[in-house]
Amino acid sequence: SNNCTDEQQPSPSPPGVAEHISSTCCRDCLGMSEQNYNLLYAVYAWTNAVVVFFSGFLVDKLGNRAGVIAFSLLCLVGSSTFAAGAHLRGTDYLLPVMLLGRLLFGAGNGSLTVVQNRLVAFWFNKKELALAFGCVLAFSRCGSVLNFFLTENIRDAIGLEWTLWFGVGLCLLGFVAAGVVSGLDVYGVRAMGLTEELQQESRRVKLQDLGQFSLQFWLLVLSIMFYYNGVFPFVADASQFINQKYSLDDKVSAYITGAVYDVSMLLSPFLGGLIDIIGKRGYLALLCALLTIPVFGLLAFTTVYPLVSTLWLGVTYSFAAASMWPSLPLVVPRATLGTALGFSTSVQMIGIGVSNVVVGRILGQTDSTRSVMLDRWKLVMLYLLGNVIAAVVVTLLLNAVDLKRGRKLNQSRKEKLSLERMDQLVEDGIAHASIESGSADASSAAGYGVDFAPRSEADERSPLLSSGGSSSGGGITGGRKHAIN
């Protein structure tokens, strides 16, 4: 998605990044002005931020299959348009065609991450949720790392235009993979006899369901936003910062920056697996935010070799990502998960976009003397630190609320299983009593209402169905005694 190969950036680059990186990154700008080149980034990123909000809801309505196919097709069409546009070098059509390509690609790619997470949450909802999220994250980071190491060499070997077509080939591969996933999803849902039930759930989803989400959801969204406000804008700018503050050359600075993602690529699946066993997602999110404070402290106030900070950030960021994202499916009903993920991603991207603009403003448009630049960079680090401190405050609140509302986020696997077993025993007892008393409706016979409604087969498979106390999604059974709402 990116013909800038000198820096390792979050993939895809968040909104606003380009406001102040192009001068270090664009060698072959296709004859474009720097401003237009930056526009290609901004259009992509802001489209991404706006579209994911609606695409999450759309996926809840239309289902994973339609989503995964439509969004990967958008990526393919967007990247093809972008690559085709590059052949219009020297004409008036270059910019509009490439902008259109970025717009389509931005719309598709952000949405694809939402449907990807929704799929993962559906199929790995019992024991392996965080592990599955961790694997997805590792692959995403693998993309960033490969881009970092390979793209420039490919460009040198075959030229920019064909490198872009190579990217189109990768999108085609993604489209084929989407077809396979879609087939597997249809087959699996049918095999479990859930087709009709899922369709019914989808029909009842409304955009207004967002208003019914629990306090944990909103606190998680804020935690994600503040934490990522600290991480992504840092990664986008760190090469330049390290280069200027520590007087290391461009390549070394880029490698040191890349360590954040290298660590994350290696650690994420293991951390996911660990979190599935120990739970404690809320505590871990708080701990990660706390442990990230020294990273920016070191960078702002000391001259300790920056690799220490980027490796450290790699570890804390990996823990944060592996604990925050897989917490979302635990606090919203299954039927509205797409809406929840889309909204969270949109808020995250907007937060990052605004942060990038703030960082750009602090750094200014023109370079100044070294000491002025170092002062500006210190201010940038303090701004990032402020966001991480905000994440600490919000995750503290999150844990306090979670403690009051059933410890949904902090249960270990063992605790969760034993609670489920207890629920099952109670339900079996109620069902037994109702059969003896001749009542057809076990829950009403026992006078427990929806709290103890008999669990359907799907409910058994999906803890999400019983996690949302608000039954606004429809078809969602009420929470159990330890449920979060």
Ligand X SMILES: N[C@@H](Cc1c[nH]cn1)C(=O)NCC(=O)O
Q: Which residues bind ligand X (CB under 6 A)?
A: 12, 48, 110, 113, 137, 140, 321, 345, 348
Cα distances from 223 to residues 53, 140, 392, in angstroms, run 18, 21, 8
Asked if 126 and 461 touch (Cβ cutoff 8 Å), the reply is yes
CB of 33: closest distance to ligand X in angstroms? 26
CB of 357: closest distance to ligand X in angstroms? 17
The residue (of 5 and 144) whose beta carbon lies closer to ligand X is 144
- Residues 248-278 as b/e (b if ≥16 CB within 10 A, e otherwise) read beeeebbbbbbbbbbbbbebbbebbbbbbee
Among the listed residues 241, 171, 226, 232, the one whose alpha carbon sits nearest the alpha carbon of residue 15: 232
Tokens of 89: 């070098």
- Residues 407-446 as b/e (b if ≥16 CB within 10 A, e otherwise) read bbbbbeeeebeebbeebeebbeebbeebeeeeeeebbebb
The residue (of 1 and 309) whose beta carbon lies closer to ligand X is 1
Q: Say how far residue 245 (Cα) sits from the centre of its chain.
A: 31
d(Cα 397, Cα 67) in Å, to the nearest integer? Answer: 34
> Which strand (E) or helix (H) includes residue 318?
helix 306-324
Alpha-helical regions (H) of 192-249: 195-204, 215-245
The residue (of 133 and 218) whose beta carbon lies closer to ligand X is 133
The residue (of 137 and 340) whose beta carbon lies closer to ligand X is 137
The residue (of 267 and 442) whose beta carbon lies closer to ligand X is 267
Among the listed residues 233, 470, 425, 432, the one whose alpha carbon sits nearest the alpha carbon of residue 333: 470
The residue (of 151 and 345) whose beta carbon lies closer to ligand X is 345
The residue (of 115 and 137) whose beta carbon lies closer to ligand X is 137
Asked if 117 and 133 touch (Cβ cutoff 8 Å), the reply is yes
CB of 265: closest distance to ligand X in angstroms? 11
CB of 228: closest distance to ligand X in angstroms? 6
CB of 276: closest distance to ligand X in angstroms? 17
State the residue number with the nearest CB to ligand X. Answer: 110
CB of 397: closest distance to ligand X in angstroms? 21
- Find the length of the chain: 485
CB of 126: closest distance to ligand X in angstroms? 22
Tokens of 391: 């994440």
